[in-house]
Amino acid sequence: MVSSGDNVRRTYLGISNSYGWDPAYFEYVGKRNPVNSCDIDGLPFNYRSPGFHMDVNASGLTIGPEFSTSGDPRFICGNSPFITEPELPTNAYYRLFARKFTFLVQGGFDGWDIYREWRTNEDRFQLGASGYLAGAYPSSRYPTATGDGIFKRIVVQNNTQDFANTDYYAYLLGILTFANPEATNINVFASASIDYVNNSNLVEEAIDMIQYSRADSVYICTTPDYRMYTPDASNSLDIIYSQEAVDNLDNTGIDSNYTATYYPWILTRDTVNNTQIYLPPTGEVCRNLALTDNISFPWFASAGYTRGLVNSIKARQKLTQTDRDTLYQGRINPIATFSDVGTVIWGNKTLQVADTALNRLNVRRLLLQARKLISAVAVRLLFEQNDQIVRQQFLDSVNPILDSIRRDRGLYDFRVTVSSSPEDLDRNTLTGKIYLKPTKALEFIDIEFFITPTGASFENI
């Protein structure tokens, strides 16, 4: 609010410490109880912070009969009218620098409600599910809903979907934002704060987006290593051990060579709040993937002593050899703890069930890198004459790329062929086939020791 003595250049309309505001707009404080013993007209609160408006005429608006004091101004206003463009220099808004306004973002369609007592990103908070029956208004589409909430239809990647104001849909919208590979250039996608046990539908949406919409990135998802339960409001932790973590993954039915996961969580230092906190290792995995790309190549495994060191105080669990074998056989990459270097990424598997070359993360990343490089040169040939010359140009462009990868230890060998069939020519198509022998990462070392007689000669062995 502007008064006659204010310096307009330094004064902003809007939130005012003279008139106050609801402090819950700034931080989450949990669900507030109503001021009176009963709500007015069923509303959860009988008080709202005053609004702010630039136009002094807005002060004539009233709160309405649903509040205890009818006729009070809804807005705290400036000191001049602003219905139309001011024409007189005496109007406070005549100059552009006077038209400044501050406000607080709260509520709205962002997935976060300051009055909620817990996060709402689990599967049950989808529209029509048990957690959101009380959130959506009843309609022909959701007849069992009970109200006190909204939903809207949004077009994302040419698909119309229903979204609501729960964390679930905020995450979903964020995931779908990356669905167009031509709009965002990435090679790793991660979601540390959602896992495949408590947020299985969101994880499946992310896998589908990466594997089918993009097909040029890998997805690092989170394995939970604890259950939160509060039988006596003590916030105790119930640890999920190795075999149970594997069982949880098997129960999801996830089978994707574009996805990898890691266990257990790691203890890190929160310098902002001066405390220590356990976090999923997802962030450290992404850091080591970036490190691998910088010091070597994507087809090298991001694991081990060279490219798998984890910045942490410790892992939540110190895995034994048996634990690591259980996890690795179950497609979960262990975070191992060694006395000399601390915590280390000790696995290179994807979540593919079949035992093929693509159940290794470095091989999947090799194919993604080769595809991206080859696509970049192949697209330049589009709309050229579809004859033998353009086919030779394709071979001349692709063979050096694969030969470079072979020299950099990514391939044992390769072969590229191009079809010149009349059917391809009639379809305006160039059909090529690329055969690869990817270099596998060394994961097991078998050494045998033999005791020989003292007089034996090693030359005879």
Delimit the domains of the chain by residue range: 1-106
Tokens 């004091």 correspond to what residue? 69
- Token readout for 325 is 């074998």
Handedness of CA 30, 34, 40, 42 (dihedral sign): positive
Distance CA 417, CA 435 (A): 9
Q: How far is CA 24 from CA 114, 162, 170, in A?
A: 7, 29, 21
Report the candidate in 176, 179, 164, 177 with the shortest Cα–Cα distance to residue 121. 164
What is the distance between the terminal CA atoms of the chain, rounded to a whole angstrom?
94
Asked whether the beta carbons of 149 and 165 are under 8 A apart, the reply is yes
DSSP letter (8 states) at residue 73: B
pTM to 2 decimals? 0.74
- Token readout for 229 is 């339960």
Q: How far is CA 439 from CA 257, 294, 357, 408, in A?
A: 17, 19, 9, 10
pLDDT of 202: 95
pLDDT of 63: 55
Q: Give the DSSP per-residue string, 429-440.
A: ---EEEEEEEPP
In degrees rounded to 5, what are phi and psi of residue 342? 90, -135
pLDDT of 17: 60
In DSSP terms, 18 is beta-bridged to none
Residue 359, phi-psi category: left (phi > 0), alpha (psi -120 to 50), beta (remainder)? alpha
Q: What angle do CA 181, 185, 190 make, to 5 degrees?
A: 90
Decide: residue 199, CB within 10 A, 0-12 exposed, 13-18 middle, 19+ buried: buried
In degrees rounded to 5, what are phi and psi of residue 13? -70, 155
For β-strands 333-338 and 259-263, DSSP reports them as: parallel
pLDDT in tens, the chain (461 residues): 455 566 777 777 776 666 556 555 454 444 444 444 444 444 444 445 566 778 888 776 655 554 444 445 567 777 788 888 888 888 888 888 888 877 665 555 454 555 555 678 888 888 778 777 666 556 676 676 665 555 566 666 666 667 777 788 889 988 998 999 998 999 999 998 899 999 999 999 999 999 999 999 999 999 999 886 544 444 556 899 999 999 999 999 999 999 999 999 999 998 888 899 999 999 999 999 999 999 999 999 999 999 999 999 999 999 999 999 999 999 999 999 999 999 999 999 999 999 999 999 999 999 999 999 999 999 999 999 999 999 999 999 999 999 999 999 999 999 999 998 999 999 999 999 999 999 999 998 899 988 888 888 888 77
pLDDT of 80: 84
Distance CA 246, CA 248 (A): 5
Asked whether the beta carbons of 345 and 303 are under 8 A apart, the reply is yes
Question: Which amino acid belongs to residue 51?
Answer: G
Distance CA 33, CA 49 (A): 16
Long-range CB pairs of 337-340 (<8 Å, 24+ gap) are none
